[in-house]
Structure 1
Amino acid sequence: MSNTKAQTSAQRRTYVLDTSVLLADPAALRRFEEHEVVLPVVVITELEAKRHHPELGYFARGALRMLDEMRVTHGRLDTPVPVGDHGGSLRVELNHTDATSLPSGFRLGDNDTRILAVARNLADEGHQVTLVSKDLPMRIKASAVGLDAQEYRGEAIGDSDTGYSGMAEVEVAAEELDELYDDGTLDLAEARELPCHTGLVMLSERGTALGRVGPDKQVHLVRGDREAFGIHGRSAEQRVALDLLLDPEVGIVSLGGRAGTGKSALALCAGLEAVMERQQHKKVVVFRPLYAVGGQELGYLPGSESEKMSPWAQAVFDTLGALTSSDVVDEILDRGMLEVLPLTHIRGRSLHDSFVIVDEAQSLERNVLLTVLSRIGANSKVVLTHDVAQRDNLRVGRHDGVVAVVEKLKGHPLFAHVTLTRSERSPIAALVTEMLENVVV
């Protein structure tokens, strides 16, 4: 028994969490099994400062409430309190803030310095310390001062689950293909094992067909001649995506893919088709996150809110202008059928009778995305467009955020995902996009 205890003690690590972890997942406090969790007191201060933030305030308050529940239960948090059923503990660290343990270039007196100092001083005392952060620069700083640093992955999916494209390829008999074209549906054994709404490219000796797996596990024919607001799908993925976007029974559609694959154009045209032609919704609402290239937030730009949003809204109008005439664009705007808003406006709203597009969703943290989805009201549809290779929010890793949401929801009858692969932009843009894909972490 004593040997087992000694081995457990030797394997026990001290995880120092920064604020970004709790803003991504307040329940992170309970996710470290038998290990010790240390919160530098400055993290509490930063959570307090974020309490009324339009996007992150909800999660800051959730983390503070969880800490307060522990305080009520155990009396104080400056000494280790038990967490979970595996022997883990948590404490708020009031000491170990002496920055002289850091190289002189890191003694800046800011909050990052205080968190790094706590981790470095605990490591110097013999603790097996790992600094955990969602913030890429923070992890780089920690490594630079000799600390083990890890990205928080508690709410992320596993590496083996990141390849879901929403498409599959199967070989079928020519007679089965004929049945699909004649009846519109086909009972296919291979399809029963696939998630609902997976697109299928079916190959036979006499030709090919497109279909998708329905909630009944039958294969339903996807017609190549479907159009939305005048555009047709060019590739198999685009045609399946268009079929899903125009299906009122699918409430959430995720469109992934690199820049130039047509995600935004398909979503926008499907929305306008649903609003103007089919009259299934009253308006199209496009939400864009407030991150520019490099992670700059909207608040740093001068001018009024409409002036600040202009560059973000212009991307939507550029897409629309390339698809239709200026007269049609003017009509859409005059009739109030299209809104482009910052994502901060979604909290507190319930979006009824709307075709909602969340553009550039790869820059949103998982909890923010779930908040967005919770705002969707009656008779509304939401489309997430994303390219995980172009994340502008440094707190969002490649394997969390929208990727984790896709993995959680795939297979549900209300949800569908398709990754688009064929670039519709110029050869130059396609080349540069491919180069960026190879260097982005």
Structure 2
Amino acid sequence: MTDNFKFKKELTLKNPNDEAALFGVQDAFLDILEQGMATSIRHSGGKITVEGDDEKAVQNTIDILNGMLELIHSGITLNSSDFVSAMKMAEKGTLGFLPELYNQVLLKDNKGKPVRVKNFGQRQYVQSIKHNDVTFGIGPAGTGKTYLAVVMAVAALKKGDVDKIVLTRPAVEAGESLGFLPGDLKEKVDPYLRPLYDALNSTLGSDHSERLMDRGVIEIAPLAYMRGRTLDNSFVILDEAQNTTNAQMKMFLTRLGFGSKMIVNGDVSQIDLNGRVRSGLVTAPKILRDIDDISFVNFSADDVVRHPVVAKIINAYEKNDNGE
């Protein structure tokens, strides 16, 4: 960037001490905002200067900073994903709803930090989970599907709404041919279940998670182990559902018992099945769309809460796949 920008706006902080909370350690949040908005941001002594060649981008940057200050003053500690979400809301003209998203705390994680939704897609997902027996979360990686599903499961367990959490995903491929892999069952399936462990440990902490697994309160298993069971009073999550066949999807969904909830997550752009095999996640919306208490939430690149470049990568591949 050069110093010869067309547009410039300034913001003066009422409390100069807000600078550290607003821009993060070593200005990490500032860097994200500059890159995402294509603006230049300078700050010193409580005075912030935003410059750029696009007037709307400069104004949006100021609006984002004001929105973040409002969150700080309400006691919220910011992180990188907050800025990613705010930039997308600014682009859509919905930034004014930002404080509303932070009103509800879903849970406090193992470090005591409040877990909140980051965008409207996540809010719709959480509301769907609350109000439906079965929720499908369909969309790209980085949208928070797995993490939020586990958060909602742990919250339900803590409130006594369920007695057990069951986390599952297809191991290897649709056939789940684990016999071809070396080692005992745990060694075979753990690499494929790792994302579920990670989400669980982030929410509960590894020690607490281990204790609950030892007691059978939390179960993590490959999808094949769901066959023949009825899961009552349980919160059941199927991850990587794009790699299930129609038969496997039907088998899983019919495990639903009384007092239970099910979440089915997946990304239909990441199907690893043999080309001749239809994904159960692709056909499920067509088969189940008219059934009450089953909801489908579709995420897009706009809902990605990882580094801003991730959303751009997803969009670029989608355009390539669509022949654009």
TM-score (norm: length of structure 2): 0.60
Q: 2:213 aligns with which of 319, 328, 333?
A: 333
1: CA distance, partners of 2:317 / 2:182: 30
Is the contact between residue 257 and residue 387 of structure 1 (CA under 8 Å) also seen in structure 2?
Answer: yes
Is the contact between residue 134 and residue 294 of structure 2 (CA under 8 Å) also seen in structure 1?
Answer: yes
Which runs of structure 2 are paired with 1:232-247 in the superposition (5 Å)? 232-247=116-131
1:286 correspondence with 2:167 = yes
Which runs of structure 2 are paired with 1:27-106 in the superposition (5 Å)? none
Q: Which residue of structure 2 aligns with residue 228 of structure 1?
A: 106
Which runs of structure 2 are paired with 1:282-431 in the superposition (5 Å)? 282-291=163-172, 297-395=177-275, 401-421=280-300, 422-431=303-312
Identical-pair percentage: 29
Which runs of structure 2 are paired with 1:260-271 in the superposition (5 Å)? 260-271=142-153
Which runs of structure 2 are paired with 1:72-221 in the superposition (5 Å)? none
Please state how far the C-alpha of 1:332 moved relative to its aligned partner: 3.4
TM-score (norm: length of structure 1): 0.45
Is the contact between residue 295 and residue 393 of structure 1 (CA under 8 Å) also seen in structure 2?
Answer: no
Please state how far the C-alpha of 1:374 moved relative to its aligned partner: 1.2
User: What is the CA deviation profile of residues 10-49 of structure 1, one whole-angstrom value per residue up to 9, with x for unaligned ones?
Assistant: xxxxxxxxxxxxxxxxxxxxxxxxxxxxxxxxxxxxxxxx
Aligned residue type for 2:164:
K
1:251 correspondence with 2:136 = no
Q: 2:155 aligns with which of 270, 273, 285?
A: 273
Secondary structure of 2:265's aligned partner: strand
Aligned residue type for 1:279:
G
Please state how far the C-alpha of 1:303 moved relative to its aligned partner: 1.1
Q: Is the deviation greater in 253-262 or in 405-414? A: 405-414
Structure 2: 5+ residue stretches without partners: 1-91, 109-114
Larger Rg: 1
Please state how far the C-alpha of 1:386 moved relative to its aligned partner: 0.8
Aligned residue type for 2:226:
I
Please state how far the C-alpha of 1:223 moved relative to its aligned partner: 7.4
Aligned residue type for 2:209:
V
Is the contact between residue 253 and residue 382 of structure 1 (CA under 8 Å) also seen in structure 2?
Answer: yes
Q: 1:264 to 1:204 in 2, by over 3 A?
A: closer
Is the contact between residue 291 and residue 392 of structure 1 (CA under 8 Å) also seen in structure 2?
Answer: no
- Equivalenced residue count is 223
Structure 1: 5+ residue stretches without partners: 1-202, 210-221
Aligned residue type for 1:426:
H
Larger RCO (CA under 8 A, 6+ residues apart):
2
Q: 1:295 to 1:427 in 2, by over 3 A?
A: farther
Q: 1:371 to 1:439 in 2, by over 3 A?
A: farther
Please state how far the C-alpha of 1:341 moved relative to its aligned partner: 0.7
